[in-house]
């Protein structure tokens, strides 16, 4: 006999929607024994919806508050780096190369004698822009295309699936070398465009899969039987139930995009000096890791913190959108 992973009866499985969640029926006269929490306080209670409940939940979630604060801070210094850093990130003095922490340069100097603190602060703009814009672009394009393909199925779904297969076959670095080498503009936009171009199939696959899963639920059929339009079914019934995996993968991918920008810059097809970005600094500092570890540590730390903040934000939002976890 094969041993099977075995589920205990539904009622016991904690979060499970078991028969034992004891909301009283009309037959049972009592109403008080409700472990469900503070919901449903009276007939006069305000109507609630998923989004208002999620927002209430988020405001009280410390994980959300901390990550939102970190992200807010990053956005502010991206917009106005001079608020917390004086001097230019491009003003370097070879004489100070690899020097450690000192007044005016709390993070020390890198191999070129540039102020690591100033460069880390100024690098935020590029890195955060690349990370956020590439993620948003990928998530939007991928989930719209994947979601529609999954929802409608048929011929265009097959076409889209084959197209994503083709994109998966393109090696990212090689693709970057080829495509970006023809670009002359030294801004972040070609880099972001390239990331969206190569990144959307990943999200599209996930979105397609989770839309197909959500589509098969009876509540979608129920809405259809009521006469709901396709857009209503997609937006009200499928999207909220299919968005969780997209959020998770997209926030994790955000870090990879920031790192990919570094790789491309290192290979000379991304941003070029005098642009400032964490990626450029990380790759520039890696040869001196033995002599000047601080030059690598600070931009890497900033990158890690940013990625962590977005992943935590994504997790908090995903959980807030799941009523079972309240």
For other proteins, the binding residues (CB under 8 A) are: 1-6, 8-15, 17-28, 31, 33-36, 39-43, 45, 47-50, 53, 155, 158-159, 162, 217-219, 221-229, 232, 236-237, 240-241, 321-324
Cβ closer to other proteins: 8 or 268? 8
Judge whether 311 and 136 are in contact, CB under 8 Å. Answer: no
Cβ closer to other proteins: 5 or 103? 5
Write down the least CB distance from residue 260 to other proteins, Å: 32
In order, the DSSP letters of 228-281 are: --HHHIIIIIIHHHHHHHHHHHHHHHHHHHHHHHHHHHHTTSS--TTS--HHHH
Please name the residues in contact with 286: beta carbons below 8 A apart, sequence gap of 6 or more: 296
Cβ closer to other proteins: 153 or 293? 153
Write down the least CB distance from residue 316 to other proteins, Å: 16
Q: At what angle do helices 293-320 and 116-152 cross, to 10 degrees?
A: 30
At residue 310, the 3 state secondary structure works out as helix
Cβ closer to other proteins: 233 or 280? 233
Write down the least CB distance from residue 242 to other proteins, Å: 10
Q: Rg of the chain's alpha carbons, rounded to an integer? A: 25
Judge whether 110 and 119 are in contact, CB under 8 Å. Answer: yes
Cβ closer to other proteins: 22 or 93? 22
Write down the least CB distance from residue 62 to other proteins, Å: 18
Write down the least CB distance from residue 4 to other proteins, Å: 5
Q: How far apart are CA 37 and CA 195, in angstroms?
A: 44
């Amino acid at each position: 006999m094969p041993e099977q992973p075995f589920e205990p009866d539904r009622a016991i499985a904690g979060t499970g929607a078991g028969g034992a969640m004891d909301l009283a029926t009309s037959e049972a006269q009592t109403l008080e024994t409700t472990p469900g929490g503070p919901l449903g306080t009276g007939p006069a209670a305000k109507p609630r919806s998923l989004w208002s409940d999620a927002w209430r939940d988020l405001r009280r979630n410390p994980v959300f508050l901390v990550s939102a604060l970190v992200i807010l801070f990053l956005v502010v210094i991206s917009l106005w780096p001079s608020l917390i850093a004086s001097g230019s990130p491009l003003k370097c003095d070879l004489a100070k190369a690899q020097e450690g922490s000192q007044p005016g340069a709390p993070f020390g100097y890198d191999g070129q004698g540039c102020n690591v603190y100033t460069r880390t602060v100024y690098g935020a703009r590029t890195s955060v822009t690349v990370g956020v814009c590439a993620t948003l672009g990928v998530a939007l394009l991928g989930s719209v295309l994947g979601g529609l393909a999954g929802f409608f199925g048929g011929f265009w779904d097959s076409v889209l699936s084959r197209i994503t297969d083709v994109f998966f076959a393109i090696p990212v670095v090689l693709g970057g070398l080829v495509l970006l080498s023809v670009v002359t503009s030294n801004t972040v936009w070609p880099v972001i465009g390239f990331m969206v171009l190569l990144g959307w199939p990943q999200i599209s696959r996930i979105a397609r899969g989770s839309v197909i899963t959500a589509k098969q639920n009876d509540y979608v059929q129920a809405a259809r039987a009521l006469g709901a339009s396709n857009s209503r079914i997609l937006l009200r019934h499928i999207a909220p139930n299919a968005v969780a995996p997209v959020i998770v993968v997209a926030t994790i991918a955000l870090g990879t995009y920031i790192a990919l920008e570094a790789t491309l810059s290192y290979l000379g097809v991304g941003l070029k000096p005098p642009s400032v970005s964490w990626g450029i600094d990380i790759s520039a500092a890696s040869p001196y890791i033995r002599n000047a570890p601080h030059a690598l540590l600070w931009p890497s730390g900033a990158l890690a913190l940013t990625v962590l903040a977005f992943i935590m934000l994504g997790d908090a939002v995903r959980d807030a959108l799941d009523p079972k976890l309240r």
